[in-house]
Amino acid sequence: MNEKLNELIRKRKIVKNDFTTKLVSNELKEAEYDLKRAKNSLKEKDFKWSIVKAYYSMFHSARALLFSKGFREKSHRALIEALFELFVKTDVMEEKFISILIETMEMREAADYRYVYSEIIAEEAVKNAKIFLKKVKEILTTE
C-alpha cells in the first residue's frame, strides 16, 4: 500500500470493509437506478434533479470500486482520493475519470447549494455518469 492510502486509513477517511460481491452488486444497481432517474429527469426538464441523480450514479459506481478493494469511504472527497490511489496510480483507470467525477460533484454542489443548474449542465452531468458507469463496469469485470 502506498503512503497516501495509508494516510487515508490512518486518518479514518477510509476504513477496511469486508469485501462481498453483494455490496459491489448493490452499489452498481443503485448507480444504474440513479442514472435512469437522471435521464428521465432530463427529459422532464427537471435539470437540478437530473444533475443530482447523475452525480449519485457516479458516487455509487465509485463506491462499487472501493468496495471491490475492501474499503469504505467516510466522505465523498475521501472516496475520490482513494480511487485515485487504488485505480489511477495503478494504471487501472485513467485520470480523466477522476476529473469527470470531481466536475460532476461540483455541478451537484452548485445545483444543491447555489441553485446553479441548466439543461446544458444537466446534459453534461448525465453524459459523465454514463461514461463513468461504463468504465467502472469494465474495471469490475476485468479484476
- Provide the strand spans (E) within 65-134: 71-73
Q: In 3-state terms, what secondary structure has residue 52?
A: helix
Q: Which helix (H) or strand (E) holds 14?
A: strand 14-16
**What letter would DSSP give residue 92?**
S
CA–CA dist 113, 48 (Å, integer): 11
The domain that holds 128 is classified in CATH as 1.20.120.330
Domain that holds residue 63: 3-142
Q: What are the phi and psi torsion angles at 128 (to 5°)?
A: -60, -45
**pLDDT tier for residue 1 given thresholds of 50, 70 and 90:** low
Number of separate domains in the chain: 1
* pLDDT above 80 (res 50): yes
Residue with cell 487515508: 8
Span 56-71, average pLDDT: 96
Cβ proximity of 116 and 109 under 8 Å: no
